[in-house]
Structure formats: structure tokens, C-alpha cells
Structure 1
Amino acid sequence: MHRLTNRHILLGITGGIAAYKSAELTRLLKKAGADVRVVMTPAATEFITPLTLQALSGHPVHLQLLDPEAEAGMGHIELARWADRILIAPASADFIARFAAGMGNDLLSTLCLATQAPVCLAPAMNQAMWKDPQTQANVSKLDAQGIKIWGPDAGEQACGDTGPGRMLEPTDLAERLAAEFEHLALSGRSVFITAGPTREPLDPVRFISNHSSGKMGYALAQAAVDAGARVKLISGPVNLEPPERVELVQVETAEQMLAASLDGLAECDLFIGAAAVADYRPVAIAEHKIKKGHEEIMELRLVKNPDIIATVAAQPQHPFTVGFAAETRDLLHYARDKLLRKQLDLVIANDVSAPGIGFNSNDNQVTLVSATTDQTLPQTSKRLLARQLIEHLADYLNHAEPTPSDEKATG
């Protein structure tokens, strides 16, 4: 069930007595870590109140096709884009018929037409309605289109009949949803990522920093979320919108970043130090703005900052620890030295002096340096590179060296 962590699940509820089970299903999905939004047809509200589902999901229940409170009033488009999976439970014979016919005459049927997310149906109806040739034809048509049909179960029904038509139990449906994300490389894993620069204050208005934009770290955070991980993003000052579904911890100084990195580290599986941490900070911070004097030379006394990545790697129960090495020369030499000296599991090295890659750029090219191999990944956008890196890191995390394909492998 941990594979549901951070997943966007849209639960559709149609009219039927089995709608009472949808409350327990919502609770189970939330307990497993999913973000659940509920859409109800008008008939569904006759069996269970929207207020019940709102209390259990933590979000207002969606009822209207054109929602005046939604962005541009197009609630169905927003929800269709938001969902990772759509589960209709219960799915009545009426809804199945309208869905098979391609109709969009209410919010739920319309967003099923508008979404690119996989749709799953959990049928629930009287046994005679389920056996009816029209219903079976509709179900077969949807199945042929790739719609997943989960159930129904057989047994005693609320009307007194016995036979197929009972909605699967909430625990079964939750487990099937979790299995939908089984292929994700970091399902259920906890990932900490540091990103951006740190700022070491000289006085209330000045600081020591660097040119890191944070783009690589933020791209890695998004890729890790997409791979099913729970992500804690520890960010220095950047001008970037944080990815959805991450725990964002904003810091300024190296000492603050270290404290945030160690907080909860025992639960972390993978630590990626993508931040450009200032190596030194001023011995003392002036209480007021430092005024320009007559001296031609101003001297600053600096003290070494804590080494965040080395401190993480030195913990008794440390996570798989990955560092970045941004160099301007002798890339592999310095990367391997960093790997050994700080006892890291992997170093991602990049040459920030090369044109078009590195600080403040949208592209990057890196070499993965482990204890046994050096593997260079081709230059690409930081977003696409982040996905590749997360796939490789998941392989390393599972004690398997990634298999080179078209990439250049040396060493």
C-alpha cells in the first residue's frame, strides 16, 4: 500500500447502495498516503452525503460540470489533468452505459473523456442488470478500450438477490490501485534532496553565495516524486516554483541546511546533495550594515562551514548518499577524490566551465562516478537528465549497477 504515497487518486461515486463502501475506500486511500479528490454524480448524493466524503478526503467534493469556483470554471479539465488514476466505485449500470457511449453529460463522465490518466471501474448493480446483454456489451467495449474492470464480486445483494454484482471490498480496490504503481522505480522510498545555493550573511544586507540556480535539484525532486518517492526538498534561496507533492524546507545558511538534512534522516533511503553549499562563512556577522571606509583593502575572516554530505554519509545508519561535484578542470580526478574522501556511494560530476551546461543553464551533462565505474550521460535538458538520474539511482539503491545502453561507459 505504500506505493500510493503522493499519488493523485480521483474517486468517482455513482448512484447505488454500494456507495456507502466508498467512505471506507476513501479512508484507506488517505491512510496509504494518497491525495484523494471525490467526484459524485447527482444520484450518488442520494445514497451518501458529500459532507461525509469531504471530511474523509480532506477536500471539497466536486459535483458540478461547470464549477464557478474552479479556475476559469472548467473544473473537469483541472481534475482530468490532476489525476494519476481515476477509479469509479461504485460504477452503476447507467454510468457504464453512458461511458461506453462516449457521453459527457455530467462532471464524472466528462472528466473521464478529458483525462489521459488510466480509468478503472468497480461495477456494482443488481445481478440481473449485470447479466443483461446490454450491460455485458458495454463492459466488453470498455475493456477493449483499455478501461480496467475490477469485479464485480458475487454474493447476497441488498435487494435480496444472490449472484454477481457486488462491488469489490474497499481493501481489495485499494490494493489493486497500489499495484497500478508497482512499476515505479522509487515506490514507497523516502528521498532527501538539497538544492540551490546557501547564503552566508556578512551583515543585514550582504552575504556570500554562488551562482547555483537550483534547477537541477528541483528537477530531481520532480523526477523522484514521479517515480513514487516521498520527497523532502531542502532548498536554499532560488526563484523556482517547488514541485507538487514535495515537503519543501526553505533554508538560507549551510548550518540551517545541515540541520534540515539531519532532521528525520533515519527514515531516508536516498540522500542527494545537489545544493551548492558555501564552503566558508564569516566568523562574525555585523549587527549593522558595514560602511565603506577609506581603506583600499577590506579583510574578511572566514570559518569553514560544516560538510553536509560528509556528515550525512558518516551517520551510523546512513542512507544511500549521492554527492555532486561541480568542477572546472580535472573532473573525474576531483570527483573520485570526493567519493573516497567523504565516503559517498556515488558522485554526479559535471564540468561547470563547459558552455551551455552547469549553473543557471537549462541543460547539463554529467558523469556518474561509483567505486567501480565512470558512466557519462549525454547532454540534455535538466528535466530529462533528472529522470535518467533517478532511474540510475534507483538501480544503485537496489544494489544493481545500471546497464549502459547508448551511454558512454568508461573505467
Structure 2
Amino acid sequence: MYNIYKLKNGLRVVTEYIDHVNSISVGVMVQNGSRNEDLNQNGISHFIEHMFFKGTEKRSSKDIVQQIENVGGQINAYTSKEATCYYIKALNTHLDLSIEILSDMIINSKFDDEEIEKEQGVVIEEINMSEDAPEDVLDNNQAKAIFGDNPLSYPILGSIENIKSFNSKNIKEFVKSHYNPLNSVISVCGKFDEKELMKTLEEHFGSWEGDKNYVPKYETPILLTESKYTNKQIEQLHINLALKGLPYAHEKAYSLVLLNNVFGGGASSILFQKVREELGLCYTIYSYGQPYLGVGINSIYTGVSKQSAEKALSVISKELKNFAEKGISKELIEINKEKIKANYILGLESTSSRMFSNAKNMLLQNKVKTQEEVIKRINNINSDDINYVLDTCFKPGIISSAYVGQDIEYEKLNNIIEPNIKAYDTSNKEVISRV
């Protein structure tokens, strides 16, 4: 059962009561991520996520985590392109403690210069670790190739140069302007007393202010037909091919999920069966959507040997064209409705996953999608919906590409999939070719 209301300061609250569990998941989700930054600020949202754990007026950084872990709970956070979330999962008997600690972090964090300096070292090592991971480099390359200079292309971790520039003053200014009750949501899921919960939330979060004039706004980017390559001394060539997608909460979103499920969503998918099982060209291959507010992309990922790259891309390109032109049968539509309903339901088996889902829906759409509503939308997918998504997302083909590997002739690879893609080498930041 869902309940939605606002605190006196305008902070939205969404709760879901589940009688058969003895746990509680509480999250504070803020509509702020790397998409809310300018180039000089890039990385500050993620850095601030770290700093909220570094001490308040009444708790040290150790106290924050220890007080939750001492009662068997878990506390963590994440930053994405469009949101940051701070959350706790614990026994429902520790709900008040969970809410009080989250409010203390959000409202009373000190952002001490000494702690900032220490955390700069931590985040710089996180950036170094990410740059050693080819999949992370690939994701950043893909974002830059297709989104260009739009903030959606900015890496969530930011740059080492930017991290070194952050101080107490600019962090406090950013938090004051970007963290406020009107662009945030508290999500609670599990077993609780609703009246006591409302009272506790008002007591601990009612004093939260921030700049109430700030409203997150985004420019919708133009999808670019470019390519990015990073030369890295690794065994595999990592490839990401981008297609047009659908924006977050699009009415045909579940039709795209269904089509990705058929094309590259599992071991029985077209790409997996053809490229891995039949030809043995790779270990991993899949397709997936990346929806954002106002814009979306669809991607195909695989990792192959340098020697197999041309063959793999030829097969992927051929299978994509066949899939876009022929579509899928009504029988396959019905089979895959059941698959995505099962994936959806199984994905909501824990209080934390339901808490995240409710928070994101409330934050970005100002409403909650019930399980019944989602199942109904999936059941209602028809051939017209499928054809719309095929025409919109798959038939235009591959519009940009990203590569990470050792000494790759990526211009040659681009000509296999799409001769009009412009190629760049991120190693020297120069334009390599304009076909």
C-alpha cells in the first residue's frame, strides 16, 4: 500500500507498507547529479555524496556508519547523471535511528576543509581505478561521442583537476543551491507505523531549507554521429554501439524493454545466440536502454579479440538490420511480455529495490507507478507499439560508437557499421577522420 504526502517545508514523502517483512529501507533522493553541473564543477555532485559521510556537528564519520552497522544495518549512497541517493536498510525497530542519521547528514554536515583534503585523495584514487577499468572508460567515451558538450556527457566522477579545486566554500554554496526539499524525495519501504513515521519525518526533516528558488533544468541534447577511441594496453577490444533510444517515462518504454530482451537481453537473445553461441566470437554481448529526462539512447555492448572485431561488427550490423526490418511475431511479443513481467516483479522482491523505484518515480514524475499499473502497461503492448519502437530506435541503425583497446584501426571498424560516423581518438583529443 502506497502513501504520498508532503512535509510542511514541501519535501515529498512516498511510503510503501509491507506487512510480511521485518526490515525497513529509507532513502533520501535528490534531483542532482553530473547533469546539473557545469564543466568547472564536474564531479562535485559525486564528491559531495562522499562528504555527507564525513561528519556532522554531532557525529564523526566513524559514528555515522558505526551507529547503523552496530544495529546490523547498512548505509550507503550513489550518484548518477540525474540524481543522488542516500539510504539505509535496517530492522524496522531501528527506523527512527535511520531517519535521524540521514537527516543529520543532509542538514548538519560540516564539510570541514581537513576532511575535504583527505577525501580528495580518496576520490582521485576512485578516478584512477575507473580509468583502469575499460568498461568505465568505454561508458565515458560513448557519452562524449553521442552527447558532445552537453552535461550528459560529463563523467560522474569528474576530473582530478576539478576534484583538487573543491573547498568548503564552493561545496557549501553548491549544496545550498542544489539540495532543497522541493527537488528531493524521502522514500520509505517496509514495516512501520504510518502516523509515527509522519511525526518522525517532520521532526527531523522539517527544518531542512536550502534555496527553494532552484529548479533543475536540462537542455535536450542533439544526438551526435561521432566515435571515441581510447588506446589501452589490454587484451580485449571493448565496443559500445549507440542507437536512438526513448526518454525516461516514455509511453512506449516497455516496448523498448521487450525488444531489447529479444535482440540482446539474455542467453536466448538474437545477439547472444548468433555472436557467441553460433560463431564463438565473444563471451559477453547484450543490448540495453539508457533513458534520461527528455532523451534516451539504446546501446549494444560486446568485448572481443582484436582479430574478431571486424567479423563481430559485421554480424551485429547485419542482425540489427534484419531485426529492424522484420520485427518480431505476435507469439514472441506474448512470450517476452511474460519475461519482462517476471524480471520486473523479481526485481522488486526486496524493500530496498522498491524504495529506490518509488523514490525515482516520485522524484522525476511526481507519481508512483503501482505494480498493477506496470503489469497492465506490459500486457497492453501490441504490434503497433513494437513497430513504433522499431521505426524510432532500431531502423535508423547505429549512430555512434566507442572503443577501448590496444592499437585498433577503429576507422576501419566504423566503416563496417556506419560510414558516416566521425572518429576521434581520446588519447590525443584530435579529430582523426571526418568521412
Question: Does the alignment reach a TM-score above 0.5?
Answer: no
TM-score (norm 1): 0.28
Structure number having the greater helix percentage: 2
Higher Rg of the two aligned structures: 1
TM (normalized to structure 2)? 0.27
Structure ranking higher on relative contact order (CA contacts 8 Å, 6+ apart): 2
